[in-house]
Amino acid sequence: MNKQPRLVTTPHRRLPIVIPEGITPTEFFNSPCNLRHLARENGLLRTPEDFLLYRKAIGHSNLFDTSIIHDSSQRILDPLGRPVRRDQLNRRERMVFSRMTQVTFHFMCEKYPDPEQHLLFCGEASLDATWPLGKPGVPSIRMIHNHFMVFDNAELAAAPAAAHDDPNLTDSGNNGIFLLYLNDVYLRFFAVLDLEILKPLPPDQAQLQITGYPQGLPSWEVQGGLESLNSGRFWKEYDMILKGFLDFYRAFFALVASDDTQIPDGATFPNKVEDILLFNSEFHRAARILRLQVLEDPKFANEIRWRPAYKQLIYRDDLGRIIVTISQNSVGNAITELLGIVIKRVSDEDAYSKVEHRLVNQLLELRNRLIRYNFGEPVATPSWPAGVFVPPEKA
């Protein structure tokens, strides 16, 4: 099979919201008002810690698609005051978030057991205190979330090729900088982590057969497979990867921003930052390239996210292995694009209505399982007022 990124068209229903005049879509989507609307229209379950399981109204896959978001918007009104990463959650919140991920990933593997037929994955991201508030495009909800998806491999293989220079795949040029100049030092930096469950994989051995992605990202096979997600040690190592990424990101962008070679305050691995990164000439060369581009190109400069921005994925590959990877992006690939899948969303009520019943019933089944495991309380919406799907009336 020809490995190439794929373009997948996903229908959705028109959102039943009206953006007020005088406010940009990004500003509206970030508002507590919109987040309250999200819960009322698409919420499935809410935990006492403010984790909200909800149906993605404009999703990536209509086979299976849901998200868990830390919705603190109704009690923390300052968007910049909300947690956006795992390391900003308290111990209880972090454990609940990890357990919800564990249960949901097990559920997907149970429903879609054959890795040759289905690609399944979840991607954790900070949505996102680093995104410029007035930036058009991706809504900036500014809170941590995890997005769970399943794709049919046959449909992926039959999908048209996405453009290799698609800005979502190339991360507006930053991906190329990492691949050309930082790939070796990035992998070396992660190779020295003290991991027992996560086994480092050469990047080319972690690629999907259909897309040839991820590319140039550090990847680890989960030894013990799916059952290892039930171990607290796995989640400790999962956190170590994020902390290592934060050290790398802060050291690199401090160098880009002001030629600062100080070890970042609060670094988890300060000795490794100095030994592996700050004494590496290619690390300094890449920072200089990016710095010159920021100075010369105002559009590019506005794209840079000076605070850490990341996507951390758990996915099941073609061989059935469970793999963890983490992005190096500073502009923002979507979760699917790190695996070489570009989503084109189209408004198509008829097409969506044909898949909605099956999709929602799976989400309601997942909700019931989470309730059984004592995670929280169900949320009623117009589409499932009493835990049973009700098709919306056509306008």
3-state per-residue secondary structure call for 34-49: HHHHHHHHHEEEECCC
Does residue 282 surpass a pLDDT of 50?
yes
Per-residue pLDDT at 172: 54
- Output 198 or 332, whichever has higher pLDDT: 198
Alpha-carbon span 214 to 205, nearest angstrom: 10
- Output 156 or 335, whichever has higher pLDDT: 156
Does residue 256 surpass a pLDDT of 50?
yes
How does residue 391 score in pLDDT terms, banded at 50, 70 and 90?
Answer: confident
The mean pLDDT value of the chain amounts to 88
Mean pLDDT of 114-143: 72
The sign of the torsion formed by the CA atoms of 240, 244, 247, 250 equals negative
Asked whether 8 and 343 are in contact (CB, 8 A), the reply is yes
How does residue 175 score in pLDDT terms, banded at 50, 70 and 90?
Answer: low
Per-residue pLDDT at 173: 56
How does residue 121 score in pLDDT terms, banded at 50, 70 and 90?
Answer: very high
How does residue 74 score in pLDDT terms, banded at 50, 70 and 90?
Answer: confident
Report the share of the chain in percent with pLDDT over 90: 61
* pTM of the predicted structure, to 2 decimals: 0.92
- Output 79 or 246, whichever has higher pLDDT: 246
How does residue 60 score in pLDDT terms, banded at 50, 70 and 90?
Answer: very high
Per-residue pLDDT at 395: 47
Mean pLDDT of 4-9: 94
Per-residue pLDDT at 186: 86
Lowest mean pLDDT among 9-13, 229-233, 332-336: 332-336
Does residue 79 surpass a pLDDT of 60?
yes
How does residue 140 score in pLDDT terms, banded at 50, 70 and 90?
Answer: low
Mean pLDDT of 145-165: 93
CA 86 to chain CA centroid, Å, is 12
Q: What is the dihedral of CA 248, 249, 252, 256, to 10 degrees?
A: 180
Alpha-carbon span 38 to 381, nearest angstrom: 10
Does residue 14 surpass a pLDDT of 90?
no
Please name the residue that has the structure tokens 């919800």: 100
How does residue 146 score in pLDDT terms, banded at 50, 70 and 90?
Answer: very high
Asked whether 268 and 244 are in contact (CB, 8 A), the reply is yes
How does residue 171 score in pLDDT terms, banded at 50, 70 and 90?
Answer: low
Query: Domain spans of the chain?
Result: 6-164+198-231+306-378
Please tell me the total number of residues recorded for the chain in this structure: 395
How does residue 181 score in pLDDT terms, banded at 50, 70 and 90?
Answer: confident
Alpha-carbon span 340 to 4, nearest angstrom: 7
Mean pLDDT of 123-151: 70
**Token pair listed for 236:** 């400790």
